[in-house]
Amino acid sequence: MHRLLTGPRQFGGAAALLLFSMSLLSPAALFAQPSLSDSQVAGRVEALLGQMTLDEKIGQITQVGPGAIGPNGPKPEDLIRQGRAGSVLWTIDSAQIRKMQEIAVKESRLKIPLLFGFDVIHGYKNIFPVPLAMASSWDPGMVERAQAMAAHEASVSGVNWTFGPMVDIARDARWGRIVEGAGEDPYLGAAMARAQVLGFQGPRLGTPNRVVGSVKHFAGYGAAEGGRDYDGCYIPEELFRNVYLRPFQAAIDAGVGTVMSAYMDLNDVPASGNKWLLQDILRRDLGFRGFVISDAWAVASLAVHGYARGPEDAAYRGLTAGVNMDMGSQTYLTHVAKLVESGKLPVSVLDQAVREILAVKIRLGIFEHPYGDPAEKDKVLNDPVHRAATRTAAGRSVVLLRNENNALPLKKTLASLAVIGPIADSAEEIKGSWSVEQGPAVSVVEGLRNKLPNARIEFVRGGDMQRLVPMPWDAAEGKKLPPLMPEAEMRKEVEHAVEAAQRAEAVVLVLGERASMSGEAASRVSLSLPGNQQQLLEAVVATGKPVVVVLLNGRPLDIGWAAGHVPAILEAWYPGTEGGNAIADVLFGDVNPGGKLPVTWPRATGQLPAYYNHNLTHFPEDGEGFTSRYGDFVTAPLYPFGYGLSYTTFRLSNLQLDQKSIAASGALHVSVEVENQGAVAGDEVVQLYIHQRAGSASRPVRELKGFERIALAAGEKKTVRFSLGREELKFWSPEAKAWVVEPEEFDVWIGGDSKATLHSEFRVTQ
Ligand code: BGC
C-alpha cells in the first residue's frame, strides 16, 4: 500500500517539566473551544448534514495524501475545493497545510475545515524516547506532559490530528512494532494509553494547543502470527478482552476522539471490515463515541485479503462494518456514490459515518480555529523547555540491566574513553522510528564528549549492521540500502576497536539495531545482535578493559553472552533528541536510573512469545520431571517483566492489607514501606501483582494491578498505598461471558519487579 505514497513520510531512523505548564500559556493559547453539550454538537452536525450533497458527504469520509495519486489522479487541492476531501495525511509543511485549509474554509461550498493527520508518535520536532522506552519510565505523568508538548508543536504547525497512541500489546519481540507501544502488559499499557490521550488532547477535545488523538491499531495487531507484521491474528474472546482490549478501553475512557482500525485479519475477518469488532466491541461494549479511520489503504486491502470481491465491495464492507474514514486509498471516494445511487448502500449508513466525523471536527474547535499558529511556531518548536524535557524523559526511561560490583557509574576523572559501535556516533539512529520534523539530536559520542570535555574520547565504528531489505517506502522511491561494510573492512574495524579499547581506561560499547530494524514492516526472525556486533563484543571484552554496554534498540535482543561477560549493561532504547546527553548523565551518575522493563526479556528467540502473565500449566515449569520446560535450554527469561536496577538499593517491608476479606463489590487497601538503603538518591517503581487461585477459568500466575514510581533520598523511607477493588479484580470469564469478580482466594505480592516475593493473601466473599 505504501507504493501509492506520494507525500513525505519521514522516518528519522524513525520531557524541565515544571516549567512546562508555563509554556502552554502563550498568547496563542488564549482561545478555548467552549465545551459543547451533546445536543449542541448534534444540532450543528444535523444543520450541516442537511445541506450536504452526496459528493460532499463522501468527501468527509475521504482522507487524501498531500500529493496527487498516480499520474492522472485528482489533485488534493481540487478535491478540497469541491468539498470532496475531509482530511489530509502525511504533510508537515505548514505553508502547504495553511494553503489547503484556506481552500477548505474559504473556497469550498460548505467551508468545512480539514483534519491534518500525522504520526506524531514520540515528539514533533523535539523527539522523546520511543514509546517502549517511555513505558519503561513507568511514569504516566511524565508521558502525559511529553505528549502535550508534542501536541503543542504539532498544533502550531497546523497538524491537528495525531495517529497515536499505539497501544497494541506485544508478546513477541520479533514483531517490529513492539517499539511503538508500551510492551506486553494490559495494566501498564492502559496507564500509558490514558496518559498519552490526556497529553495529546487535554481533558477534552478542543483544549487549546492540543490535537485529536487516534488510538491504534484496533485491535489485536500485536498478536501477528510468528511476529510477522500484518500477519493474521487468532485471539480468543477472553484473551482479547482481558489483555488486548484493556489499553483501548483506557484510551476511550480518557476521551480519545478517533480510533484507527488495524490491517490484519482478526480471527479470519480483516479488522477494517469487521462489524463485530467495530460495532459490537468498539461502540457497544467499549462505549466509543468518536470516529474510526482505517489504517493506510486498509479499506482497499479488504479485497487484497481475499475478503471483499473487489474495490467496490471493499468500500461497501468497510463502511458498513464501521470504518468512517478511508485513509489514503480513495476507495470510498471512487465507489461510494455508485453504491448509494444503486440502492445497495443505504444513505443512512453514509450519513452516520459523516455525522461522527463532523462531531469530532466541531468538538475539536477547528471551525473556529482552523489554522496552526505561524507566529508561534518557531518559538514553540525551539522551546528550550521542550528540549530539556526530552533529556529528562530519556534519563527516566533507561533501564539498568546489569551492574556487577558497581561498575557504574563511571568516574568523571577518566582521562580516556573508547566509544565503540556502528551507531554510537549517529545523531539520526538515536531518535528511533517515527520522528517527524528533523531537529538536531545528540549522539552517544557527542553526549560523552559534552560530559567529559577534557578527556580523550576515541570513537571507532567497529563494524556494521543493516536491514536485509529496504523499507517499503524507500523501495517505492527506488532507494537502495546503503551497502553493508565489506567483511574484510569489518574485520579491520574490529581490530581498530580492540586497539582503541587497549588505549583507553574504559570502553562504552554501543550495540543494538538501526532504527529501521524495528517499527512497521521491520519484523525479524531472530533477536540476535545484527551484523558483526557479537564478534565485536567478544573481541572488545577480551581486552580485559572495563566495558559498559549501552543498547540502542527497539526490542529485547539476545544479549545472553553479554549478560554473562560484561559487568554493566544499560538499555537506552532509542532515547530521542537529547539521547546522548541523557545516556552520559546516567553513565556518570548525574542521573540514577530508575526505569523498569515493560517487556519480558527472553534469553533466546525460541522462547517467544514471552510474557510474565501466563497461566499455570499441568506441570509447572519450576517442578521436577515432566515440566513445561524446554528440554534443551533454560525456560526462564533473562530478565523478568518489571525488572531494572538502580545505583542504590531499596528494601520493601511491612506489607499490610487493611482487610483480609472483602465483598465482590468492595475494595481493600494495601500498603508497603519502601526504604532507600544506599548512599545516593534514587527512584523505585513499586509494583503490585495479584493471582486468583481458583475460579471459573485459569488465571495468570501473576497480574500487575498497581504501580507507583517514587523518589527517595538516601536513607529515606516512604509508605506506598494501593487499592484493590472491582476494576483490579475483575476478569472476562469465558464461562459467564461477562466481567466477573469471583468469590475466591487471592495472592498479592509487592516488589520491584514481577518476581516480587513480599507476599500476602485475601479472600473475596459473595
Ligand atoms: C501504519 C499506521 C500509521 C499510518 C499513517 C500505517 O502504515 O500502520 O500506524 O498511523 O500508516 O502513517
How far apart, in whole angstroms, are the C-alpha atoms of residue 493 and residue 703? 46
How far apart, in whole angstroms, are the C-alpha atoms of residue 460 and residue 536? 11
pLDDT digit string, tens, across residues 630-686: 888 888 899 999 999 999 999 999 999 999 999 999 999 999 999 999 999 999 999
Ligand 1 centroid, distance to 202 Cα (angstroms): 23
CA-closest residue to ligand 1 atom 11 = 296
Please name the residue ranges forming H helices in 129-233: 131-136, 140-157, 186-201
- The residue to mutate among 91, 162, 327, having the most atoms of ligand 1 within 8 angstroms of its beta carbon, is 327
Q: Say what the pLDDT of residue 437 is.
A: 59
H or E, element range at 583? helix 579-587
Query: Counting Cβ atoms within 10 Å, is residue 341 exposed (0-12), middle (13-18) or buried (19+)?
Result: exposed
Residue 558 CB partners (closer than 8 Å, separation 6+): 526, 527, 528, 529, 602, 603, 604, 605
Contact 339, 315 (CB under 8 A): yes
Residue position matching grid coordinates 539512529: 429
Residue position matching grid coordinates 487524501: 64
- pLDDT surpasses 80 at 29: no
Contact 726, 742 (CB under 8 A): no
* Atom of ligand 1 lying closest to residue 214 CA: 10
Ligand 1 centroid, distance to 263 Cα (angstroms): 9
pLDDT digit string, tens, across residues 573-593: 999 999 999 999 999 999 999
pLDDT band (50, 70, 90) for residue 625:
low
Q: Say what the pLDDT of residue 7 is.
A: 34
pLDDT digit string, tens, across residues 330-354: 999 999 999 999 999 999 999 999 9
Active-site residue list? 295
CA-closest residue to ligand 1 atom 5 = 296
Residue 280 CB partners (closer than 8 Å, separation 6+): none
How far apart, in whole angstroms, are the C-alpha atoms of residue 337 and residue 459? 61
Contact 119, 434 (CB under 8 A): yes
Residue position matching grid coordinates 510474557: 611
* Residue range 53-80: mean pLDDT, rounded: 91
Ligand 1 centroid, distance to 297 Cα (angstroms): 9
Q: Out of 26-35, 590-599, 647-656, 756-765, pick the least confident.
A: 26-35
- pLDDT surpasses 50 at 21: no
Q: How much is the mean pLDDT over the chain?
A: 93
To 5 degrees, how large is the angle CA 134–CA 137–CA 141? 85
Provide φ and ψ at 668, rounded to 5°.
Answer: -125, 160
Quick one: cell of 478?
Answer: 527506488
Q: Say what the pLDDT of residue 22 is.
A: 30
Residue position matching grid coordinates 482487610: 659
CA-closest residue to ligand 1 atom 7 = 296
* 226: number of Cβ within 10 Å: 12
* Atom of ligand 1 lying closest to residue 90 CA: 12
Ligand 1 centroid, distance to 296 Cα (angstroms): 6
pLDDT digit string, tens, across residues 674-688: 999 999 999 999 999
User: Ligand 1 — pocket residues by CB below 6 A?
Assistant: 119, 163, 216, 295-296, 520
Please name the residue ranges forming H helices in 220-289: 237-239, 246-253, 275
pLDDT digit string, tens, across residues 170-189: 999 999 999 999 999 999 99
H or E, element range at 610? none
Distances (CA, A) of 497 to 250, 442, 493, 502, 529: 48, 22, 6, 9, 17
Contact 82, 108 (CB under 8 A): yes
How far apart, in whole angstroms, are the C-alpha atoms of residue 121 and residue 296? 16
